[in-house]
Chains A and B, each alone.
Chain A
Amino acid sequence: MSDDVILKVRDVYRTYDIKGGMFKKASRLTAVKGVSLDVERGSTLAVVGESGCGKSTLARMLTMIDAQTSGTIEIDGLPIDISKTGISKEMRQKVQIVFQNPYGSLNPRQKIGHVLEEPLLLNTDMPAAERRDLALQMLEKVGLQPEHYGRYPHMFSGGQRQRIAIARAIMMKPKLLVLDEPVSALDLSVQAQILNLLADLQEEMNLTYVFISHDLSVVRYIADKVMVMYFGEVVEYGTRDEVFDNPQHDYTKTLFAATPRADVDSIRKRLAARAA
């Protein structure tokens, strides 16, 4: 099914020039080094790595916030190279992003209704009444109430805000959704709700996810394919079972070994080792 690849990334690099100062030479930092990947429609690719590994830079390139330095990105057959062609409304409707911190990603002075309507206002000619209907539908879809429409973000809990951020991202019915650590700022019980919501939405709207995370247990739960990044490079790329059952790269192994285990056997083993 190679023709159903919705996101095609080939050999993408991103470098940052660090300006030199009086005592410092100018230098160049390569945040993403030659990443290639394919994501099939309706599936979830998880990008795993620690801070500074370039996973967020990758997310910013996929969502057209930053341009790639070299390489090609193709979303739903549409080539993306914003440094050359700019961003068209058509491109914008293909891909959206959900950020990690639900407290920072909503404008504190904007009521929820306006948050949701903003993408429609900017990209379509829809009349106000229709926009409001869509926003209300969307609120219901992500598990919020219509009366939340006129409230401010600070009146909501972290989980509710993340629902709002998700609702905003899917207002334009994008094909691809980039989720940049969407649950890592949330409590465990809320995390479960949001993961369930994401699963429901994926099924309903046939969404494709690029799920960026450092939490392996979440990745194992949600991903179809997993990509592990380390210092800007892809060190492991395969289906979930391949990667989790048989990690090839040393870094992946270290990562798995470091993840805390919350099962009874591991606790027993630890306590036994401690008593000894």
Chain B
Amino acid sequence: MTNTSPATKADTSKLETESRNATKAQLAEFWYYFSQNKGAVVGLVVFALLVLTAIFAPLLAPHDPDFQYRDSFLVPPFWEEGGKAAFLLGTDAVGRDILSRLIFGARLSLLVGVMVVTIALTGGIVVGVVAGYMRGAVDTFIMRIMDIILAFPSLLLALVLVAILGPGLINAMIAIAIVLQPHFVRLTRAAVLTERSRDYVVAAKVAGAGHMRLMFKTILPNCLAPLIVQATLSFSNAILDAAALGFLGMGAQPPTPEWGTMLAEAREFILRAWWVVTFPGLAILITVLAINLVGDGLRDALDPKLKRS
């Protein structure tokens, strides 16, 4: 064996570029398959706009979302008769600008999505990996608990949890996360079960990897594809559930400009002022649709079965 280090011969920086190129190629391939799905690209654009709106809400919103214009209750959108150019999408029953409230509402909805998915995903992954890796009694115990959670209608369970924890956006998020968690647990466990008997896991074991390393460093990265897809779909689910809880008065409390809460406040004006219900409803619809489309595209790009055909 030679004693000269090949690292000195081969330029270290060259190695790093090579390594970066490999990562880039991986991303390029991912993007190729993702962009094949036109709907997903549209969804991604819409979602990106939504994120930008949320970030720059104070700059974009024409009015303070909580300020009540006493002289303009239930002003219709600007193109309707009696509409004012100052309130593009009209005002609600206490004279707040609907557009501004929707723009600020985007922040809450995205916050709900991110928080809920983070909590549910982290918990679900840890519990699912442990169940799938350990098998036996641990597995049975965990999965039976998850089955019990899944046996409740999800919104009902969320309602019960909120009732226990007390109404409010934070508690609603926790409740929704708990309700969504079993899906992640199941998915993770299934993926871990198929991966754990693969040769590369055995090889890592022979190399001396401990349980923790095997579970989270060797197996987990190979189970992420279905989880990412599920996470996007849960993101939209969380927004829907939060809106539903808001609508039922158990989520965000007035005057928070949360889309579901806005719907709830507008309930009594459905017949008189269509705009107070339509626009928050549309906002929810578009957001959820966009995210679902992105999830669909992710599935196309990440599912190895579709890819290698």
Question: Interface of A with B (CB < 8 Å)?
Answer: 63-65, 87, 89, 92, 96-97, 99-101, 104-111, 113, 118-119, 122-123, 129, 132-133, 136-137, 139-141, 146-147, 149-152, 155, 165, 168, 172, 204
Contact A105 B6 (CB under 8 A): no
**Can you identify 26 A-B contacts, CB atoms within 8 angstroms?**
A63-B206, A64-B206, A65-B202, A65-B205, A89-B208, A97-B203, A99-B203, A104-B198, A104-B200, A105-B203, A106-B203, A107-B200, A107-B221, A108-B200, A109-B222, A110-B218, A136-B7, A137-B1, A140-B6, A147-B10, A150-B22, A155-B22, A155-B25, A165-B203, A168-B203, A172-B207
Contact A105 B209 (CB under 8 A): no
Chain A, residue nearest B3 (CB): A137
Q: Report the minimal beta-carbon distance from B207 to chain A, rounded to whole angstroms.
A: 4
Contact A99 B18 (CB under 8 A): no
Interface members, chain B 172-223 (any A CB < 8 Å)? 198-200, 202-210, 213, 218, 221-222
Interface centre among A101, A109, A111, A136 (most CB of B within 10 A): A109
Contact A113 B218 (CB under 8 A): no
Residues of A within 8 A of B81 (CB): none
Contact B5 A150 (CB under 8 A): no
Contact B208 A122 (CB under 8 A): yes
Contact A118 B207 (CB under 8 A): yes
Complex formed: what's the CA distance from A45 to B218 in Å? 32
Q: Known: A99-B199, A107-B222, A150-B16. Contact between A122 and B209, CB under 8 A?
A: yes
Chain B, residue nearest A109 (CB): B221
Chain B, residue nearest A152 (CB): B22
Chain B, residue nearest A63 (CB): B206
Question: Interface of B with A (CB < 8 Å)?
Answer: 1-2, 5-7, 9-10, 14-16, 18-22, 25-26, 198-200, 202-210, 213, 218, 221-222
Residues of B within 8 A of A111 (CB): 19, 22
Complex formed: what's the CA distance from A63 to B7 in Å? 32
Interface majority SS (helix, strand, loop, mixed), chain B: helix
Q: Report the minimal beta-carbon distance from B29 to chain A, rounded to whole angstroms.
A: 9
Residues of B within 8 A of A140 (CB): 6
Complex formed: what's the CA distance from A157 to B79 in Å? 64
The one of B9, B199, B218 in contact with A104, judged by C-beta atoms closer than 8 angstroms, is B199
Q: Known: A63-B206, A165-B203. Contact between A149 and B222, CB under 8 A?
A: no
The one of B9, B19, B207 in contact with A119, judged by C-beta atoms closer than 8 angstroms, is B207
Chain B, residue nearest A100 (CB): B199
Contact A108 B222 (CB under 8 A): yes
Closest 9 CB pairs of A and B: A150-B19, A105-B199, A146-B10, A109-B221, A122-B208, A119-B207, A104-B199, A136-B6, A107-B200
Residues of A within 8 A of B16 (CB): 150
Contact B15 A146 (CB under 8 A): yes
Complex formed: what's the CA distance from A97 to B200 in Å? 11
Contact A97 B206 (CB under 8 A): yes
Contact A105 B200 (CB under 8 A): yes
Residues of A within 8 A of B218 (CB): 107, 110
Complex formed: what's the CA distance from A118 to B18 in Å? 20
Chain A, residue nearest B2 (CB): A137
Residues of A within 8 A of B206 (CB): 63-65, 92, 96-97
Contact B18 A133 (CB under 8 A): no
Complex formed: what's the CA distance from A172 to B203 in Å? 13
The one of B18, B207, B213 in contact with A151, judged by C-beta atoms closer than 8 angstroms, is B18
Contact A118 B204 (CB under 8 A): yes
Contact B207 A168 (CB under 8 A): yes
Contact B207 A152 (CB under 8 A): no
Contact A101 B199 (CB under 8 A): yes
Residues of A within 8 A of B26 (CB): 152
Complex formed: what's the CA distance from A63 to B14 in Å? 37
Chain A, residue nearest B26 (CB): A152
Interface centre among B6, B10, B15 (most CB of A within 10 A): B6
Complex formed: what's the CA distance from A260 to B9 in Å? 48
Q: Report the minimal beta-carbon distance from B178 to chain A, rounded to whole angstroms.
A: 30
Q: Report the minimal beta-carbon distance from A143 to chain B, rounded to whole angstroms.
A: 13
Complex formed: what's the CA distance from A204 to B9 in Å? 23
Residues of A within 8 A of B199 (CB): 99-101, 104-105
Q: Report the minimal beta-carbon distance from B14 to chain A, rounded to whole angstroms.
A: 7
